[in-house]
């Protein structure tokens, strides 16, 4: 499949592969990928932290799928795996990555939790964007970004191609959200941006913010398509 080469470029860019270590708290970011809850639970059960915050209301995908918030669904999974409910905190309002961290920070402060370091568990293809948002919104906390250890090809085979729309949209947000002051700057190599543009043009555009593409971008896309 020709598209998988381009998807791999975006996947590799988004991965951070940070080394895991003990922290004060695990923050599981809400998503349609419930394996985030499994990974967060395993980290707790293996002693990497003694508190878990599940953050997520109903987002741009899950509002069509579930009748309970992402945080509530993830908490049920964690409890079934053996995480004590007393160590789970729920943030049930956020609908995007920025609010995941804004509202989790508010929860930490309101609950007077002694937290100075966090392990953020997210989707495998969302590590770098989670990091960029966290460092903007919660810069006073130490952070490790962590996700499932899986290859792009394996993830694609398991989940189909719908998630690629989210990945393509997130690459665009890496650029746009820095410009708007919503996350720290993360350089995007030209080959990554080119792959993002081509995939968007090939139909992976469900979460592209179409009104922010400038005319120069639009004129260059056709030429790049002809090279791939």
Whether residue 175 is predicted with pLDDT greater than 90 in this model: the reply is yes
The average confidence (pLDDT) of the chain is: 90
Say which range, 11-15, 21-25, 74-78, 216-220, has the weakest mean pLDDT. Answer: 216-220
pLDDT at residue 66 in the model: 79
pLDDT at residue 213 in the model: 47
pLDDT at residue 218 in the model: 42
Q: What is the rounded distance in angstroms from the CA atom of residue 115 to the CA atom of residue 6?
A: 39
Whether residue 216 is predicted with pLDDT greater than 50 in this model: the reply is no
Whether residue 228 is predicted with pLDDT greater than 80 in this model: the reply is no
Whether residue 132 is predicted with pLDDT greater than 60 in this model: the reply is yes
pLDDT at residue 227 in the model: 37
Give 188's strand partners. Answer: none
Q: Model confidence at 61, in pLDDT bands (50, 70, 90)? A: low
Domain ranges of the chain: 2-11+155-225, 16-146
Whether residue 201 is predicted with pLDDT greater than 80 in this model: the reply is yes
pLDDT at residue 224 in the model: 36
First to last CA, the chain: 12
pLDDT at residue 226 in the model: 35
Q: Helix axis angle, 97-110 relative to 127-137, nearest 10°?
A: 50
* Record: fold of 16-146: Rossmann fold (3.40.50)
The mean per-residue pLDDT over the stretch 192-204 comes to 96
The mean per-residue pLDDT over the stretch 201-228 comes to 59
């Amino acid at each position: 499949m020709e598209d998988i080469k381009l998807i791999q470029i975006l996947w590799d860019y988004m991965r951070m592969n940070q080394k895991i270590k003990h922290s004060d708290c695990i923050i599981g970011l809400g998503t349609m990928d419930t394996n985030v809850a499994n990974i967060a639970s395993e980290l707790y059960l293996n002693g990497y932290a003694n508190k878990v915050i599940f953050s997520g209301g109903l987002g741009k995908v899950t509002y069509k799928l579930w009748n309970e918030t992402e945080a509530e669904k993830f908490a049920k999974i964690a409890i079934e795996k053996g995480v004590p409910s007393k160590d789970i905190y729920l943030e049930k309002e956020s609908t995007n990555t920025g609010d995941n961290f804004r509202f989790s920070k508010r929860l930490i402060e309101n609950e007077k939790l002694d937290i100075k370091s966090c392990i953020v568990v997210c989707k495998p293809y969302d590590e770098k964007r989670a990091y960029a948002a966290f460092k903007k919104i919660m810069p006073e906390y130490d952070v490790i970004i962590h996700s499932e250890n899986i290859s792009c090809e394996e993830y694609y085979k398991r989940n189909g191609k719908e998630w690629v729309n989210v990945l393509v949209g997130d690459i665009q947000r890496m650029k746009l959200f820095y410009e708007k002051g919503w996350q720290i700057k993360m350089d995007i190599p030209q080959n990554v941006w080119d792959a993002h543009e081509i995939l968007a043009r090939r139909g992976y555009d469900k979460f592209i913010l179409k009104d922010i593409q400038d005319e120069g971008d639009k004129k260059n896309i056709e030429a790049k398509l002809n090279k791939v």
